[in-house]
Chain A
Amino acid sequence: MSTQTPETETETETEPEAESGASAAPDHQQRRMDEKRARAEARDDAAAQAATEFEGETVELKVFRYDPEVEGKEEPRFDSFTVPFEKGMTVLDALIFARDEYDSSLTFRHSCRQAVCGSDAFFINGSQQLGCQTQMGDLEWPVRVEPLPHQDVVKDLVVEMDHFYDQMESVQPFFDPDELPDGELDEQRQSRENREHIKLSTRCIWCGACMSSCNIAAGDNQYLGPAAINKAYRFYMDEREGEQKRQERLEIIEQEHGVWRCQTQFSCTEVCPKDIPLTEHIQELKREAVKENLKFW
């Protein structure tokens, strides 16, 4: 937690103490509360002071703001925040600092902060990237942070993800093997070569960066999108997959709004934070679909 100030930590430590003394001695408590208030004021002053003048390097953050529920904020705008720069600071760190120190209404999704949960994909300086994975030092300053394009904005940097999740689920991302091993506790084994084949496709974290970068998905709402097709690839190429399910899944991805909508712009491959070769996977599925349809033996 690089952006959390030490003051905030003291606050959380003192609170339980104050509560425990509540019933025992009212005078004592009163004094303590006064002291605490004075401390809090001093702290706020210090924070306000610190907010206006930082020592060392600062970076300007321009953040897309929009809140349909607050009067005067329905019109989207950009807010600027000046954030002290530290070595190793990510865009997410800077956003957290801006939210904690300036404007607590600044809204964005984040969870694990280590590029695993996939909840903090933003449009940073004109490309889709994970906030927690992108170093401030690597970007051109001032850094412009916007919500993912081609998705409806709910508030500030939060976008509507329902459609993306619907598409992910429409390819039926689950196993349905033809035969199960005999023993109840037996594993369903996969060969090393097959594992290598699907390895990259299993790395998807559902962040939605690829879908947002895709020009085709922007124009065609029914297009499955790179992430969903990659998910289908992950199961289609797995040797443990049942033949029946494989056929069904191929029918889903080779329909009109499936793999054939991809026009190999490589946008998704370039923005994928997990470096999944999405275009390659889509092209491989296209070839599978052609092979399947040309089969005359």
Chain B
Amino acid sequence: MSESYDRGLVEDFGRWTEFSAGMWAWVFHKFTGWVLVGYLFTHISVLSTSLQGAQAYNNTLSGLESLAVVRILEVGLLAVAVFHILNGIRLLFVDLGVGLEAQDKSFYASLVLTGVIVVASVPTFLTGAF
């Protein structure tokens, strides 16, 4: 048997333009999941400033909220969380074997819904930020 050629993982993420709905759902779900895990750490560190007293906590929060970039990141966080929730519900149905033929449509639906919710939240998050 002659040597064989291992093409490796070249064709994986290099071919992202050819990914199907299910694959994109997986990629986004992983990504949003890791972002949320990362957010939990910053969340804890911000909340734990309250251990130094009420004033320290208030100062930290108002300090953060006065930054425009934090406001924008909050919109991003909402987008990430909403998509993760909606796709999580989609995956729950997939696990239960309900509507597997419509798995791509439900992915698009969760994307659209995420978009709508995020756009609707923009006034709440960004009023007075700039």
By size class, the interface of chain A is: 20 to 34
A277 near B12 (CB under 8 angstroms)?
no
Could you give, for residues 87-112 of chain B, a 1 whenever the CB lies within 8 Å of some chain A CB and a 0 otherwise? 00001001111001001100000000
B20 near A267 (CB under 8 angstroms)?
yes
Contact of A266 among B2, B5, B11, B20 (CB under 8 A): B20
B23 near A69 (CB under 8 angstroms)?
no
Could you give, for residues 20-64 of chain B, a 1 whenever the CB lies within 8 Å of some chain A CB and a 0 otherwise? 111101100000000000000000000000000000000000000
Report the separation of the CA atoms of residues A103 and B128 in the bound assembly, to the nearest whole angstrom.
Answer: 70
CB proximity of B109 to chain A, nearest CB, Å: 15
Q: Which residues of chain A have C-beta atoms less than 8 A from B18's C-beta?
A: 126-127
Report the separation of the CA atoms of residues A270 and B18 in the bound assembly, to the nearest whole angstrom.
Answer: 12
Tell me, yes or no, whether A292 is within 8 Å of chain B by CB.
Answer: no
Residue of B nearest to A123 (CB): B11
By size class, the interface of chain B is: 20 to 34
B97 near A280 (CB under 8 angstroms)?
yes
Q: Which residues of chain B have C-beta atoms less than 8 A from A155's C-beta?
A: 2
Report the separation of the CA atoms of residues A190 and B21 in the bound assembly, to the nearest whole angstrom.
Answer: 37
Segment among A113-121, A146-154, A174-182, A194-202 that sits at the interface with chain B: A146-154
Segment among A53-61, A86-94, A237-245, A282-290 that sits at the interface with chain B: A282-290
Tell me, yes or no, whether A137 is within 8 Å of chain B by CB.
Answer: no
Tell me, yes or no, whether A80 is within 8 Å of chain B by CB.
Answer: no
Using known A-B contacts A265-B26, A270-B20, A270-B22, determine if residue A149 contacts B11 with beta carbons closer than 8 Å. Answer: yes
B103 near A287 (CB under 8 angstroms)?
no
Q: Which residues of chain B have C-beta atoms less than 8 A from A123's C-beta?
A: 11
Report the separation of the CA atoms of residues A147 and B7 in the bound assembly, to the nearest whole angstrom.
Answer: 10
Using known A-B contacts A264-B91, A283-B95, A286-B95, determine if residue A153 contacts B7 with beta carbons closer than 8 Å. Answer: yes
15 residue pairs A–B, Cβ–Cβ below 8 Å: A68-B2, A68-B5, A126-B15, A149-B11, A153-B4, A154-B5, A218-B12, A264-B94, A264-B95, A265-B26, A267-B20, A270-B20, A279-B22, A283-B94, A287-B96
Instruction: Give the B-binding residues of A (Cβ under 8 A).
Output: 66, 68-69, 76, 123, 126-127, 147, 149-150, 152-155, 160, 215, 218-219, 263-267, 269-270, 277, 279-280, 283-284, 286-287
Q: Assuming A126-B18, A218-B12, A267-B23, what are 20 further A-B pairs, CB within 8 angstroms?
A: A68-B2, A68-B3, A68-B4, A126-B15, A127-B18, A149-B7, A153-B4, A154-B1, A215-B12, A263-B26, A264-B94, A264-B95, A266-B21, A266-B23, A266-B104, A269-B22, A280-B97, A283-B97, A286-B95, A287-B96
